Amino acid sequence: MTFAAEVDELLRNLAKPPGSLGLLEAQARQVFLAWGNTETAFRPKHIIFAADNGITRSGAVQQLAEITYMQSRQMVEGVSAVTCFCRCNGIPYEVVDVGIDSDDGVGIDRKIRRGTRDFAVEPAMTAAELERALDIGGERAAAAKRDGYTCLSFGEMGIGNTTTSAAVLTALLPDHTPWLAGYGSARGNYRLLRHKEELVRQGLLAYPQIRGNALEALRCVGGYDLAALCGAMTACAELRLPFFIDGFITAAALACAVTLEPSVRAYALLSHLSREPGMAAALRYIGRDENEVILHGGMSLGEGSGAVLAVVLLRSMLYAVRHMATLDGINAAAARRRAERDGKGRNVGGNTDR
């Protein structure tokens, strides 16, 4: 029997109607196959990559770019939404500064530069900076593996990164694909949405080499957070570490990672369906779809907030797999009970005959 068949039998034999736990069963199966066994302890860790994006200088957002720094500080202190979720559920986390526009480093300091360049003016980063961002992502995944963590979840923080993600993802999709920019945190601001779409359109015209080229797309119109996420995801495939993506930004990074290394797909777990229009497109690009997403909560916060909530659900499912009664056990107990009952009936009948 193959290991995959053993996993299928393990899940089939749980004391419940087959398939009745739906996507939780599918995710448990995916994790066991990623590990190569069913005994590994579930030890999750959440990693947030934070960076500023130069495209904000061309009016891609309505918030102040300084919010990246302020919110990243809140994360380090444990008072952002996602870090509250982590603390509530005992999930370790780290904030990795790969390019926040500040003199000081925030959290784990891996600052490449104080924000990317404005891709409306020039490429967002150099080839060396891209390589550095990819390496940082891989480094953090490897460090988590060395520390004994067996499942990761990813988040990001960076004002303007819905625009960079839309640009990168649009570059990977077929030419006829509509612009994938969404409202981001400026929900309802139609004028800003149109401006973001124009920035994406101009980016694709200015850098034609990014079409179908994940590395060039990240370099020319992406962000340090996206590149670090991509590097971390490709490293997870090498390390046999299953990982949760969050919403649109991490889905765009996953599209890049799968383009570079198709085996990454097997390690990627889906958490929630972002309101951003590019989310579904990113999933379909890698051969997945919205029906595989376990949480449909209308969220679009980022930070990995949906990913952490999905981690909690998966942990519950894995506990159940390891502690739940089995159909074989129930059937054996029922057979014993029937045999005992039948035996008592025969004894009573024998006494009556006498």
Distance CA(45)–CA(151), nearest Å, equals 7
Active site residue: 66, 198, 303, 340, which one? 303
In the block, residue with structure tokens 């690009």: 285
**Known catalytic residue: 303?**
yes
Instruction: Give the pairing of strands 93-99 and 151-157.
Output: unpaired
Alpha helix positions (H), 78-186: 81-88, 127-146, 161-172
SS3 for 75? helix
CA–CA distance, 77 with 100 (Å, rounded to integer) = 17
Residue 260, exposed/middle/buried by CB under 10 A (0-12, 13-18, 19+)? Answer: middle
Residue 326 tokens, joined: 């089995």
CB-based contact 231:137 (threshold 8 Å): yes
Q: How far is it, in rounded angstroms, from Cα 155 to Cα 229?
A: 8
Give the catalytic positions in this structure: 303
